[in-house]
Amino acid sequence: MSLEKWMTENFSEKQIKDIATYGIDAGWAGMARYSDMGKLYTQFKGEIWEALVEDAEALGYGNPLTLMTETFSAESLDEIRSSEALQNHLFWYLVKRTIKKMVN
């Protein structure tokens, strides 16, 4: 199952628009704790890494890690102090990318 399909099954159209507007800070059911993120990262890690590689290549970066260090905010990068935090940021990368396609 793709993230887009998962989101349409778990959130209303209004909630998806709200996620696009307010991001992670609003605290969404099933996507609020690191334990939630770990499960979702595991479920969608193939799609996450495909998106990272695709975006890195499209933007001229040699690899996904360079993409992350060049495009993630310094504040976000500073928050990555554990594998759970990294998984959280990578999952939200895919959420933002997917929602952008869904609401446009």
- Convert the pLDDT of each residue in 19-78 to its tens digit: 888 776 666 767 767 677 888 999 999 999 999 999 999 999 999 999 999 999 998 899
Instruction: Find out whether 84 and 90 touch, Cβ atoms under 8 Å.
Output: no
pLDDT of residue 36: 78
Instruction: For the full predicted model, state whether its pTM sits above 0.75.
Output: yes
> What per-residue confidence (pLDDT) applies to 29?
67
Measured distance CA(94)–CA(73) in Å, rounded: 15
User: Using one digit for the tens of pLDDT, what is the confidence trace for 10-19?
Assistant: 888 988 888 8
Distance set, CA 67 to CA 21, 27, 38, 62, 88 (Å):
24, 26, 22, 8, 17
Residue 65 host element (H or E) = helix 64-71
For tokens 């992670």, the residue is 24
Distance of alpha carbon 45 from its chain centroid, rounded?
A: 10
Query: How high is the pLDDT of residue 15?
Result: 87
Does the pLDDT of residue 87 top 70, yes or no?
Answer: yes
